[in-house]
Amino acid sequence: MLYKISVPIVSPDKQTVIIKITQDCNCMLGGESGTYLYRKVNGKWKRIKTLSGWVS
Is it the case that residue 51 has pLDDT exceeding 90? yes
> CB within 8 A of 14, min separation 6: which ones?
40
Mean pLDDT, range 32-39, rounded to an integer: 97
* E strand map for 1-56: 2-5, 9-10, 16-24, 31-41, 44-55
Model's pTM, two decimal places?
0.83
Query: Given a cut of 80, is residue 47 above it in pLDDT?
Result: yes
Please, what is the average pLDDT of the chain?
93
pLDDT at 43: 95
